[in-house]
Amino acid sequence: TNGNGHAAPEHQNGSPQPAQDGVRARAVPKSDTFSEIQPEVSPDGVGTAYPPSNADSAADQRRCRHCQTTQLLRTKHCYDCGRCVYTFDHHCFWIGKCVGEKNLRLFYCYVLVEFVTVAWACELCLSTFVYANTKAWARDWFVWNLPSMAAFLLCLGFAMLLGSLLFFHTYTILTGQTSWEVWRREAASYMKDVPPEVFPFSQGWRANLDMVFCRSHRQPPRRWAQPSAPWDEKQRFWWIENQYWSCF
């Protein structure tokens, strides 16, 4: 600010002009493709607002009509939770909340632990089966082991469900996708010009794993850029999705 208490004018490139008394204002750094900025409280006190970026992308054009806040790219409003979720994945009715950028790794660990627990329960059910050495051994074996069989089939069904869910989320994490972008790709406006075999937000499977499991949840949400060609080879997960076949 200058001596009159007014902010010094700035150039378009973010560097401030010198004030009349020779005091310079702090320059605002440019935001790159994956810049991280601190959220600010909106003037109306509702939700979270983000300052405008120099990047001319759809992330700075979207606004949620329900929360009355600026939506970053890949952010979606959840009607069940009544809030916008950063890097929205899906709303899970099992845990009663949305899964997104801040809690995806916790949800993945939860599914993994559930799968291991149910698989262990299947093994315990099998250990309770008894053998019948009677003349009517088939009938007696079925009657004696009916409760164990019912418990095993129930646990096996949950194990198959959790195993499929675990495999699917492993696939989405490795390719830098979200469940909503996989199942509702046509509904995401920022994905309309992206080829089906391209995953525009992927940084390579190692960087994708690091982004989910090693990034602190206390850091501000990522500011994604609008996908545009040319596409990098890291954005193609060829052994699952390519021009010859698709696993989904």
Annotated catalytic sites, by residue?
92
DSSP string, 56-68: -SGGGT-EETTTT
Distance CA 8, CA 248 (A): 55
Distance CA 85, CA 95 (A): 15
* Contacts of 155 by beta carbon, 8 Å cutoff, 6+ apart: 118, 121, 122, 125
Q: b/e map of 195-233 (b: 16 or more CB within 10 Å)?
A: eebbbbbbeeeeebeebbeeeeeeeebbbbbbbeeebee
* Contacts of 115 by beta carbon, 8 Å cutoff, 6+ apart: 159, 162, 163, 166
Cis, peptide link before residue 51, omega less than 30° from 0 = no
